[in-house]
Amino acid sequence: MRYAVISDIHANLEAFQKTLEDIDSQNVDEIICLGDIVGYYPNPNECVELCKKRHIQCIRGNHDDAVTGICGIEDFNPVAQEALIWTSRHLDRANKEWLLHLPEHLVIEEKILAVHGSPWHPYAYIFSAQEAAHAFTFLQTNYPQIQVCFYGHTHQKALYYTKESSVEEVEKNRKYILGNKGLYLINPGSVGQPRDGSPGAFYAIYDSQTREIEFRHLTYDLTLTQRKVIEVGLPYMLAERLNLGY
């Protein structure tokens, strides 16, 4: 099976459309989304409806949880809070209901785990080899059959793996073949709001047969998204950061 793994769309329709267009040219069998479909950008309804229409296997992220009331907004920064209030006001009831009923994690082919932030908590971040080591220990104890765990939430692509007793990190390789031994933690980056320092949309393709992972980076018309941010009155900083990819 060839999977497209996408994450952190954040209601950025232009980035999402461009990503789907690219996925359509890549002979993919299934699309998996690691959560944060909404929050920050101006098209939450359109992005949720695209997920439904394209039968994307989605899980919930912290922003999705905040707009449905699963969690409060007090732990978010002021800009995120403002965007969450705006999103909650503009999201249709049926789309909210759909987000509310998404699973927290997914197990695919019995050996792939999809989570939003980390295997031990959906809102926890994996930013370092130390945090990855904690995730690997948790996986070995709680999900002994899992070989590859996909996560998002940091908006930065990453690939960690276990080598003997240490944790190694591979970065910025476009393609990489996963070994047969060891565990892997992979972040495909963010579709809607990358924080790698490069503007555009990021996602990954994983082939469970050949065990090849490919990180993809696309450019799209982000000036259109920026214009919409300003038009609907979302915080200006959300438009600005798309230029920086941060």
Q: In the complex, which residues of this chain contact Zn ion (CB under 5 A)?
A: 8, 36
Residue 193 Cβ, how far from Zn ion at the closest point, in Å?
Answer: 7
Residue 62 Cβ, how far from Zn ion at the closest point, in Å?
Answer: 7
Contact status, residue 59 vs residue 83, Cβ threshold 8 Å: no
Q: Which two tokens stand for residue 154?
A: 């940091």
> How many whole angstroms separate alpha carbon 245 and alpha carbon 104?
27
Query: What single DSSP character describes residue 164?
Result: T
Q: Which two tokens stand for residue 105?
A: 């994690």
Give the residue with the Cβ less far from Zn ion, 116 or 147.
Answer: 116
Residue 35 Cβ, how far from Zn ion at the closest point, in Å?
Answer: 7
> How many whole angstroms separate alpha carbon 182 and alpha carbon 19?
30
| Residue 58 φ then ψ, to 5° | -110, 150
Residue 244 Cβ, how far from Zn ion at the closest point, in Å?
Answer: 16
Give the residue with the Cβ less far from Zn ion, 147 or 193.
Answer: 193
Give the residue with the Cβ less far from Zn ion, 119 or 152.
Answer: 152
Query: What single DSSP character describes residue 25?
Result: T
CA 61 to the chain's CA centroid: 8
Give the residue with the Cβ less far from Zn ion, 10 or 167.
Answer: 10
Residue 63 Cβ, how far from Zn ion at the closest point, in Å?
Answer: 6
Instruction: Using CB positions, name the residue nearest to Zn ion.
Output: 36
Give the residue with the Cβ less far from Zn ion, 73 or 167.
Answer: 73
**SS3 state at 169:** strand
Residue 9 Cβ, how far from Zn ion at the closest point, in Å?
Answer: 9
Q: Which two tokens stand for residue 146?
A: 């899992």
Give the residue with the Cβ less far from Zn ion, 36 or 82.
Answer: 36
- The CA-CA-CA angle for residues 187, 188, 192, to 5°, reads 115
